[in-house]
Structure formats: structure tokens, C-alpha cells
Chains A and B, each alone.
Chain A
Amino acid sequence: MLPKLPHNELIELCRKMLVIRHFEEALIDLYEKNEFRGHYHVYIGQEATGVPALACVQDGDYLFSTHRNHGHLLARGADPGRLFAEILGRRDGYNKGKGGTFHSVVPSLGFHHTSAIVAGILPLAAGTAYAAKRLKSGRVTVALFGDGALEEGAAAEAFNLASLNKLPVLFLCENNGGRQRGAAAAPSASMAAFPLTDIPRAYKIAARQVNGADAGAVHAAVAEALAKVRAGEGPQFIEALTVRWPGNEASWPIAPAKTSVALAWNVEPVPEAARGWYRDNDPVLIFVRELVGAKVATREEIAKIEQTVQAAIQEAVRFALASPYPEPETALEDVFA
């Protein structure tokens, strides 16, 4: 369903989802051309979680992300050129090439520290929430992490501390089926607790599941949870369930197809093995169909938005590739304040 938002905001959600999708697909191209190296993670298939969820936060709120952070930063309005530059290890990157794909931060957007240790941010999120509560700043904290984070002890300790102290934090668990290798609604081979919401509930944290491919459901759930957090009701937990993008099945992302909004009505161009996901589970294409179905926009209008996004992404790639590598000696800077 569509989020209950004005027309221009719905269009903006669509634009941001397309920015993320085309950014990540361009990133996979860059990797395949050896423009950067190392392990990396893309946000494809989770756009309808991050974009509407982060539309609910306010300037000054504390946001934490993980190794899968590109989509979160872009959803808050990060500049694709500077994010590409960071991932390519270039001087104009958000962290001057010191953080890379795992650790991109944009403090002005609320992302002060991004950890690639799966549950690393959960205690930190309890900490920013503690500070906000004690300083009475009215700021809330949102931690976005994957289902694998719940396998680390840091998650349990953070839930306990947040609940004991009624801290203003939303734990948003994005269950992309990564640990289940398929149906996110089934118990996993690596986590005895099921459903995952049983874990925060054991700590008396209000928890619910939501379809992470349903932008309207995510927006409603996050808006409601954040209202409770802001009202001082203590921590909240949401598990957003998505079906794993087939490109994530290997250790490194492999795009089975290039996304185009035209796929929303015809998935024939997608190779057969991946066709079902694009037809039934792709959150961007679902959202596009909903916009057209509700007559918020026409197919042509959305295609035009996509063209603009694609041009901007290509320009961002050019910017990043033109950015020089940092001087080697700068590796010795920024150890201490």
C-alpha cells in the first residue's frame, strides 16, 4: 500500500528508491571493472524499508547503519558522487577514503559512525539515546541493522540497557533473509529464537513485524513507533521482512538484470532464474505499480524520473572516477582529535 503522504512526498520516495537502485547497480558495474576491491554489500531489495522509514526521522536524530549502509545514506539525501568517491577510496569521499563501503558517515545527515560489526551499533544506539534523554534534547535514535546482528551478544545487552532505562531508540531490524537463505518467515539455521521479535519482547520491548517491501506498511509502522519513542514510551523494535534479492546469493553481488521501471509491467527482459523476484518481490517495482495504480503518477512520468536519476548517477560516477586518490601520507592523519 502507499504511505499516507502528499503527492510530492510520494514522488520523492519513488525518486529516492530509484536513486538507491541505480546507485547500487552502477556500483556493481564499477566493481566488475575493478575500480575498487574488497567485499561490499548492496541495498537492492530493501529500498521500500529504508526510504519510507528514514522519511520519518527529523534533523538532529541519531542514525546508525552497518556494512549495508549505502541505501540508508542515500535515503537521507547523501550525495551519490561523494558516496561513490568514498567507496572508490578517493579524496572527495565522505571520509576522505578512510572508511570505504563499510564505514561511510555523513554527520550532517545524522550518521556519525557506521560499524561493519553486525551488532556493533546497537550498544552505541543505546548510548546516543541515553545522552539525548539525559540532555533532554528531544532527539531520537534509529539503529538500522540486519537479522544477523541478533546473533551477537551485543544486541542482547543493548536491548536490556535500552529497556531498563526506557531509552528513546528504535531498533529497526531489516530481515532480508540473509541468514535463512530464502523464506524469511521460517526459522534460520543460525538463530534458535523464532520469530526474531521474541528476542526484544523477552526484554519487554514492544516489537512487531512488517512487510519490508510494502512502503506504506513500513512508513506507518515506523511513524507510529517513533511517535511512541518521542513520547517517552521507551525503545521500540520493528522487524522488516524482505525477500532476498537473487543477486545477493553469491558472496559478491551479481546483478541478474538492469532495473528499469518498465519491468514493473513486463519482466521478460530478466533472465528466467531471477524473473520471479522482479515480478513478485522487487519493492521498487511494487511501489511504482502502486503509484500508477493509484494514479499518483503515470508510467511516462515515472520513466522520466528514472531517466533523470540515471543521468545523475552517471554524473556521480564520473565525479568519483575523476576524484584523485588521497596522498599516501594522509593515512597518518586523523588518529587523534
Chain B
Amino acid sequence: MREMAYYEAKLAALRELLAEDERVHLIGGSFFSQSPRRALFGEIQKSFRERILPVPISELGYCGLAIGAALAGLRPIVDLSTGSFIYEAWPQVVNEAANVFYMSAGQTRAPVVFHLFHGIRGGGAAQHSASPQAMFWNAPGLEIVLPSSPRDVKGLLKTAVRSENPTIFVDHVGLLESRGMVPDDEAIPFGQADIKRAGSDITVIATSLMVQRSLKVAEDLAREGIGVEVVDPRTLVPLDLATLLASVEKTGRVVIVDECHQSCGVAAELSARIAEEGFDKLKGPIRRVATYDVPVPYSPPLEEFIGPTEARIAAAIRAALG
């Protein structure tokens, strides 16, 4: 276990996965988007040239190629870079990969990982800021992973590549420079939520970058004596509802923070599950802090305004506590 940056942990995971299994191939981008850390990918390229496929601007084509390669025994990790680009590959991901195992009644497997950066990254405007994870949640057959810490990105990427199912690995460039302790050799099982901070007054369920933002708010509110418990599901499919409900039982109050658009977003589904399974544990209504239902605008104050800001998270927590 040692302290490292998120980008270092992710790079280590890629390097270790490539070294341990010759079936692992990388298809597409640099896995670090347009961030300054993209140069790090050069080191991987040098060491594993034969197992990296550079691709044309053909999201539909190369996602399909990766699925086909998985059918034939490889373990491809596809990098779509900007999350919005996976809309270009929608037919292959949602209509082929998600259905392969089911339509064949369990005879054919497509163990492919689709890696993308979701969310508002600053100046991305409407076509480079998408958070498509909720749409994938509506397509049975896909596992959905959202890391939020250096430890999680490494441990979850390991499990994603070793999984027998198609997996959407939803990353966020806003996390790349964060730091934390990372065990040397850990694969984090899917379907295990993580309590990122314990507290007894209110449960905040958050995903991806919103975990870090919620932790910041929790720290601020702790100075006022408000105990916020921050719970990170880490994977939406499979979902560890039991851990979420246990926290709700403890606190009785829930705020869900997620960067998807609000309607039918991740927060919407989590709210429904908690309401259905844990209504008797609630002391008040579930509150959502999500991106307003408008396309993502370009100008900084507009972009800032529509997302789940610290101020909105804090306000929701205060409102929930009455």
C-alpha cells in the first residue's frame, strides 16, 4: 500500500493487466483523454506495441471490432476518450454487446471493456460533456463501473478486464490528479459499495467525481457539527443496495448526488430503489442533486450553474435535515 495519484494508479492497472494476460489488448485512445497526463500512455505504447490498435474516427466500427475480438478470445479495453462519443457507437454497445450473452442463451460471451470519461470537464459544451451511464443502466447486459479514488480506479479496472461480461468503465478527468492510498495488488469485486466517510446524521450517495465533491462538503459541514456519511456504490450494475439501505437505516435521511441529467438519471433510479425497499427507514423525502435538464452550455458561469455544485449539495443536505 502506498500513496499515489489517480492517474498513476490507473496507469499501473493498465500496465499490470497487459503484463499478466496476453489476451488484453488496447483499442482506441490514450486512456487519459486530452489531459496533460496523456503523454504517460507513450510508455505503455512502447512496451506493448503489438497489443495496441490505433483507430480511425470510427466509434461504431472500432467498438464493434472490440466486441468481435472479445467473442474470439481477446480481452479488449476500448478507449472512447470523451464519453459523448459512445453515442456514435450506440448500436454496437447497446444492441450487440449487451445482448450477446442473453440472445445466445449463455453460449457466447463478450468480455469487452468500454472506457470513457463522462461529465463536465470545463468548456466541453453540449457534445463533449455527456454522462451516459444512466442510459446504459437501462440496457440490461452491461456492467457499469464508476471509480472515484486512486484505489478504486486500479482495483475496479482489474475486475472489469477479468469480468466475463461487457463493462462500461465510466471515468472522470476531474479525478486524475486526486491522491490516495492504493494497495499493491487488489481487484475490487463488483457490487460492493464503499463508505467513503462515516457519519450519523445524513447519508449522501454519490458517484464518480461527485464523491470527491460530496466529501469536501461533508468536511465543511462537520465544522458545524453535521455528520455526513458519504456512500459510493462504485458499480451501478451490479448494485450493492444492501449497503445503501444500511446507511439509510442509520441516518434516516438521503441526498443523492450524481452528474447525469436529473430526469431518469442515476439519482432517479437510486431514489426509486431506496423508496421501494427502505421507505420505512426514511425520516423525510429523498433529495436529488443532479445536472439540470438542459444541454451542457459552454460559458463558464453557465456550465458551473447547471451541475451539482458544492453549494447545491450543501443546500440539499441542510434542506433534508430540516
Hey, which bits of chain A sit against chain B, CB under 8 A? 62, 94-99, 103, 105, 107, 112-115, 117, 120, 122-132, 134-135, 137, 139, 153-154, 156-158, 160-161, 164-165, 333-337
Question: Is B195 positioned at the interface, with any CB of A under 8 Å from its CB?
Answer: no
Question: Is B72 positioned at the interface, with any CB of A under 8 Å from its CB?
Answer: yes
B61 and A157 within 8 A (CB)? yes
B65 and A335 within 8 A (CB)? no
Q: Of B50, B60, B103, B165, which is within 8 A of A153 by CB? A: B60
Query: CB-nearest residue of chain A relative to B89?
Result: A123
Query: CB-nearest residue of chain B relative to A126?
Result: B65
Q: Of B67, B74, B103, which is within 8 A of A98 by CB? A: B103
Other A-B pairs beyond A95-B104, A98-B104, 7, CB < 8 Å: A115-B95, A124-B67, A126-B64, A127-B68, A139-B72, A160-B58, A335-B140
Question: Is B241 positioned at the interface, with any CB of A under 8 Å from its CB?
Answer: no
Taking the closest CB of chain A, its distance from the CB of B112, in whole angstroms, is 9
Hey, which bits of chain B sit against chain A, CB under 8 A? 25, 50-51, 53, 55-56, 58, 60-74, 91-92, 95-96, 100-111, 140-141, 143, 164-165
* B67, B103, B164: residue with the most chain A Cβ atoms closer than 10 Å: B103
**A183 and B159 alpha carbons, distance in the complex (Å):** 54
B106 and A333 within 8 A (CB)? yes
**A40 and B51 alpha carbons, distance in the complex (Å):** 41
Q: Of B53, B67, B70, B108, which is within 8 A of A123 by CB? A: B67
**A204 and B25 alpha carbons, distance in the complex (Å):** 26
21 contacts between A and B (CB under 8 A): A62-B72, A95-B103, A99-B103, A105-B103, A112-B71, A113-B100, A113-B103, A120-B64, A123-B63, A124-B92, A127-B64, A127-B65, A128-B68, A137-B72, A154-B92, A157-B62, A158-B64, A161-B56, A161-B62, A335-B140, A337-B165
A337 and B61 within 8 A (CB)? no
A123 and B60 within 8 A (CB)? yes
- Shortest 4 CB-CB contacts between residues of A and residues of B: A127-B68, A123-B64, A157-B61, A131-B72
Taking the closest CB of chain A, its distance from the CB of B98, in whole angstroms, is 9
**A97 and B106 alpha carbons, distance in the complex (Å):** 12
A135 proximity list for chain B (CB < 8 A)? 72-74
**A283 and B70 alpha carbons, distance in the complex (Å):** 37
A105 proximity list for chain B (CB < 8 A)? 103-104, 107-108
Taking the closest CB of chain A, its distance from the CB of B107, in whole angstroms, is 5
**A129 and B66 alpha carbons, distance in the complex (Å):** 11
B53 proximity list for chain A (CB < 8 A)? 130, 165
A122 proximity list for chain B (CB < 8 A)? 64
A164 proximity list for chain B (CB < 8 A)? 56
Q: Of B60, B71, B102, which is within 8 A of A154 by CB? A: B60
**A113 and B68 alpha carbons, distance in the complex (Å):** 9
Taking the closest CB of chain A, its distance from the CB of B116, in whole angstroms, is 18
Q: A123-B65, A154-B91, A335-B141 are in contact. Are A131 and B73 (CB under 8 A)?
A: yes
A129 proximity list for chain B (CB < 8 A)? 68
Q: Of B69, B96, B102, which is within 8 A of A335 by CB? A: B102
**A236 and B161 alpha carbons, distance in the complex (Å):** 32
B105 and A99 within 8 A (CB)? yes
B72 and A334 within 8 A (CB)? no
**A257 and B107 alpha carbons, distance in the complex (Å):** 37
**A139 and B74 alpha carbons, distance in the complex (Å):** 14
A95 and B67 within 8 A (CB)? no
B67 and A127 within 8 A (CB)? yes
Query: CB-nearest residue of chain A relative to B65?
Result: A127
A114 proximity list for chain B (CB < 8 A)? 103
**A316 and B51 alpha carbons, distance in the complex (Å):** 46
A103 proximity list for chain B (CB < 8 A)? 103-104
Query: CB-nearest residue of chain A relative to B237?
Result: A336
A107 and B107 within 8 A (CB)? yes
B74 proximity list for chain A (CB < 8 A)? 130-131, 134-135
**A96 and B106 alpha carbons, distance in the complex (Å):** 10
* B55, B67, B104: residue with the most chain A Cβ atoms closer than 10 Å: B104
B25 and A134 within 8 A (CB)? yes
A126 proximity list for chain B (CB < 8 A)? 61, 64-65, 68
B95 and A117 within 8 A (CB)? yes
Q: Of B60, B65, B66, B102, which is within 8 A of A334 by CB? A: B102
**A62 and B165 alpha carbons, distance in the complex (Å):** 20
A120 proximity list for chain B (CB < 8 A)? 64, 91-92, 95-96
A123 and B61 within 8 A (CB)? yes
Query: CB-nearest residue of chain A relative to B143?
Result: A336
**A105 and B102 alpha carbons, distance in the complex (Å):** 11
B72 and A132 within 8 A (CB)? yes
A336 and B141 within 8 A (CB)? yes
Query: CB-nearest residue of chain B relative to A112?
Result: B108
B105 proximity list for chain A (CB < 8 A)? 94-99, 334
**A107 and B103 alpha carbons, distance in the complex (Å):** 12
**A98 and B56 alpha carbons, distance in the complex (Å):** 35
Query: CB-nearest residue of chain A relative to B112?
Result: A127
Query: CB-nearest residue of chain B relative to A119?
Result: B91
B51 and A107 within 8 A (CB)? no
Taking the closest CB of chain B, its distance from the CB of A325, in whole angstroms, is 14
A158 proximity list for chain B (CB < 8 A)? 61, 64-65
B164 proximity list for chain A (CB < 8 A)? 336-337
Taking the closest CB of chain A, its distance from the CB of B176, in whole angstroms, is 29
**A36 and B68 alpha carbons, distance in the complex (Å):** 31
Q: Of A94, A125, A153, A337, which is within 8 A of B68 by CB? A: A125
**A126 and B96 alpha carbons, distance in the complex (Å):** 14
**A158 and B62 alpha carbons, distance in the complex (Å):** 8
B63 proximity list for chain A (CB < 8 A)? 123
B165 proximity list for chain A (CB < 8 A)? 336-337
Taking the closest CB of chain B, its distance from the CB of A127, in whole angstroms, is 2
Query: CB-nearest residue of chain A relative to B50?
Result: A134
**A336 and B96 alpha carbons, distance in the complex (Å):** 14
**A305 and B202 alpha carbons, distance in the complex (Å):** 77
